[in-house]
Amino acid sequence: MTGPIAPAGGGRERYLDVYRAIALVRVGMYHVFGYAWLSILFPAMGVMFAVAGSLTARSLDRAPAASVIGKRMRRLLPSLWLLGIVVVPAMLLHGWTAGAEGSPLRWNDLVYWIVPVFDPPGSDWGANATSPLWYVRAYLWFVVLSPLLLWAFRRWPVRTALAPLALIASATVGWPNLDSIGASGDALRDFGTYGTCWVLGFAHRAGTLRRIPLPVAVLLAAVTMTAGLSWALTHAGGEFGYDLNEIPLAQALWSAGVVLVLLRWEPNLDRVDQVPVLGRMVTLITARAVTIYLWHNVAIDLAVVVNDRVGLYGTPELVVTAVLLTGVAILLFGWVEDLAARRPVQLVPGFSRRAARGRRRVRTSGATPAGTGPTPARERRTSRLAGRLVVAGGAAMLLVAWVGPPLANRVTEPEHEFTAGAYLVPWDNERGIDAMAAASDVLDSVSPVWYTPTDNGELVRSSETEGSATVIKQARAAGLSVIPSISNFRDGEWDADLVSRIVHEPRLRRAHVEAVVDEVVTHEWDGIDLDYEALDVVDHDEFCGFVAELAAALHEQDRKLTVAVPAGTAESRPELARLYKRLGKSADEVRVMAYDFAWQGSEPGPIAPTDWVDDVLAFVVRQVPPERVVLGLPGHAYDWGSGAQAKDLMFTEAEQLAENTGSKVHWNADAQVPWFAYTDADGLEHEVWFEDAPSLAAKLEVAHDYDVGGIFLWRLGGEDPRTWAVLERMTREW
């Protein structure tokens, strides 16, 4: 085993600075765009852990372990504390309490904002600010364990490097079951995922990687990366399907392969400083790495709000604003990194001429000028004392934390009742009322589409017909819950701008919550349904915040809140994952509109192919507790052939059309839906795809497989009359 590698000339290993800078930029890009391929292009977290492992090994070769751990904690924790000073009060002001839904406050868990042996807690409102803190917790554990890991590496280098991979591979097949032990399981999972990268940092520092011929290193990396990518492609999971961040074993293998090549390569990147702006940016990012990592998500959230206020909705504008706000965070909070590292405070490291001249003088003289600071002996004593105090405090905190770690992630499988609901539309009121009578033994609730928001946040009744009273009377007589629906469909289109204004403007938001609750209480509805469609992604967070407020207000009145959401899969609509997850914490039902796969403006095809519905539910139940997921089933049909859009029909009309035209009804075995074709009087070819009882039964089987909380039908009136018998039989067997 060789000794530690010293960079030529005693200076910095500039390529490590470049690696870390690229990794931080990539992390920011991922949080803006959410593209899964970014994790494959450059596995930023693995690279950051590897660089940190290498630098930690260098420090352990030069100083006692307690001193190294103390210094690294001193450089990390003050920046975390500063974030907590800002974020924790903000979360409390936004309603984070012990009784909050989703992520309730546990006061004793706030200790993890001081020493993050487990993830510092946060509210749903502050989720974006706290979600990156897992890295701080994982880094802390790696630093504390580094003396032991380095001892093991020097004796059994290969086995020590492979041990984390063995852990994550074993956990992937279920032993140990990390999900069952809550926060402790999260810590072990991250150790298994990135531990090999950290140990490869040790190998880099010891010179072990340098002795491997580069072609051999590339070959080993290619095998490892291929294994990781193959596992990812066959084990899609989490919020974003094939995202390595959601597939730990694939992440571990891919990251280890990339890190092996990068650390073995050791490119000479000193020339980066010959490009003035580029070199200075690398210096800035490196000197403010902790600040950038901790605050960039906050900057992105604020950028969404700022850009919305000024009417900028494009992604390029969002990126520019987020970068500028991250720069503001560097100016406001970055100085703490200089204080923690005991170096001169600079507002913008890398862009200070005086600091640059100072660095050149230090490199030339190799000594500290007399009278400019503490003596080396005193500094070593102070550092050792501080290190021992920090380590002792951390050990005590660890002992307390281990006795009662937070178990927020413990897997539970609560029992739940299956519910069935259906929508009624005012333009087909009579048929809807007749169908409700036939289905009253099967249905639990009805949702008449009656309301639309106004520009001032109030509600307007979209139908004041005589039939509305009949709906209420008949529903009450049948023992059905009445949960009217509020829709943003007005003036012939989905008015997303209206919803955006309401959820972003505090006054309108409060007025809308009050108007909805007043309407529900006044008319003694059992709850309310929100069907706000065509929302822009940039409005999702504020919309979820509004839903949480409305749900809390309705729950105080013992009323339900259901929310209709668009259907998507991990591949087609990954951006919906966060929407699903947050709504699932507030709404009593997340009504997934699993229909219109083919729609009025598309090419002819199945409205709700069963395999697509399966993919949709697989995606949704990863984000929402299954008992809160309610699957939407279509009862309608589309006739494509004349005009720019298909004609909207119901089953009975499609059935009659097939009979009148003498068309043979076919069964599409792949989609498990019926369809037929005909030629009209003008010689135009038509295709009609529709839903009947057998096709709905196939989708009910899928719903059963995922043990969802229920189903709803869009819509009552003209559906296949056999639907209710099928639903009654299947729910009885559920």
- pLDDT of 200 above 50: yes
- Same structural domain, 393 and 469: no
- Same structural domain, 491 and 594: yes
- Mean pLDDT for the stretch of residues 218-230: 95
For residue 270, name the pLDDT band (cuts at 50, 70, 90).
confident
Query: Is 298 within the bounds of a domain?
Result: no
**Strand, coil or helix: what is 296?**
helix
Q: How many CA atoms lie within 13 A of 633 on its CB side?
A: 30
Query: Is 126 within the bounds of a domain?
Result: yes
For residue 376, name the pLDDT band (cuts at 50, 70, 90).
low
Looking at residue 339, the DSSP 8-state letter turns out to be: H
Report the pLDDT value the prediction gives residue 2, as an integer from 0 to 100. 37
- Mean pLDDT for the stretch of residues 274-284: 90
Q: Show the CA angle centred on residue 526, arms to residues 523 and 527, nearest 5°.
A: 95
Q: With contact defined as beta carbons under 8 Å apart, do 183 and 405 qualify?
A: yes
- Same structural domain, 482 and 384: no
> How many helices (H) does the chain have, and how many strands (E)?
26, 17
Report the pLDDT value the prediction gives residue 378, as an integer from 0 to 100. 53
For residue 311, name the pLDDT band (cuts at 50, 70, 90).
low
pTM of the model: 0.58
Q: With contact defined as beta carbons under 8 Å apart, do 525 and 559 qualify?
A: yes
* Structural domains in the chain (count): 2
- Same structural domain, 598 and 632: yes
The domain that holds 576 is classified in CATH as 3.20.20.80
- Same structural domain, 395 and 442: no
Question: How many residues does this entry show for the chain?
Answer: 734
Report the pLDDT value the prediction gives residue 314, as an integer from 0 to 100. 65
- pLDDT of 705 above 80: yes
Question: Is the preceding peptide bond at 604 cis, omega within 30 degrees of 0?
Answer: no
Contacts of 26 (CB under 8 A, 6+ apart): 38, 41, 42, 44
Report the pLDDT value the prediction gives residue 3, as an integer from 0 to 100. 40
Reading phi first (left if > 0) and then psi (alpha if -120 to 50, else beta), residue 491 is in left
For the chain, helix, strand, coil in percent to 5 are 60, 10, 30
Query: Is 469 within the bounds of a domain?
Result: yes
Query: Is 168 within the bounds of a domain?
Result: yes
Contacts of 137 (CB under 8 A, 6+ apart): 112, 116, 117, 118, 119, 120, 187, 190
- Taking only the tens place, the pLDDT of each residue in 592-623 is 999 999 999 999 999 999 999 999 999 899 88
Domain housing 262: 8-274+375-403
- Mean pLDDT for the stretch of residues 340-351: 87
Report the pLDDT value the prediction gives residue 245, as an integer from 0 to 100. 86
- pLDDT of 479 above 80: yes
- Same structural domain, 52 and 108: yes
Which of 388-402, 635-649, 655-669 is the most confident on average? 655-669
Query: Is 38 within the bounds of a domain?
Result: yes
- Mean pLDDT for the stretch of residues 428-451: 92
Query: Is 559 within the bounds of a domain?
Result: yes
Query: Is 361 within the bounds of a domain?
Result: no
Of residues 109 and 194, more confidence is placed in: 194
Which of 88-97, 263-272, 315-324, 694-703 is the most confident on average? 694-703
- Same structural domain, 37 and 185: yes
Taking the CB of residue 682, how many other CB atoms lie within 10 A of it? 7
- Taking only the tens place, the pLDDT of each residue in 7-19 is 433 346 899 999 9
- Same structural domain, 67 and 197: yes
Report the pLDDT value the prediction gives residue 590, as an integer from 0 to 100. 97
Contacts of 527 (CB under 8 A, 6+ apart): 481, 483, 520, 554, 559, 560, 561, 562, 588
For residue 194, name the pLDDT band (cuts at 50, 70, 90).
very high
632 sits in which H/E element: strand 629-634
- Taking only the tens place, the pLDDT of each residue in 574-589 is 889 889 988 998 999 9
Mean of the per-residue pLDDT values for the chain? 86
- Same structural domain, 396 and 482: no
- Same structural domain, 24 and 153: yes
For residue 411, name the pLDDT band (cuts at 50, 70, 90).
very low
Q: With contact defined as beta carbons under 8 Å apart, do 120 and 113 qualify?
A: yes
- Same structural domain, 134 and 68: yes
- Taking only the tens place, the pLDDT of each residue in 145-181 is 999 999 999 999 999 999 999 999 999 888 888 877 8
- Same structural domain, 472 and 612: yes
Query: Is 666 within the bounds of a domain?
Result: no
- Mean pLDDT for the stretch of residues 12-29: 92
For residue 357, name the pLDDT band (cuts at 50, 70, 90).
very low
Report the pLDDT value the prediction gives residue 351, as an integer from 0 to 100. 80
Report the pLDDT value the prediction gives residue 318, as an integer from 0 to 100. 82
- Looking up tokens 């299954």 gives 626
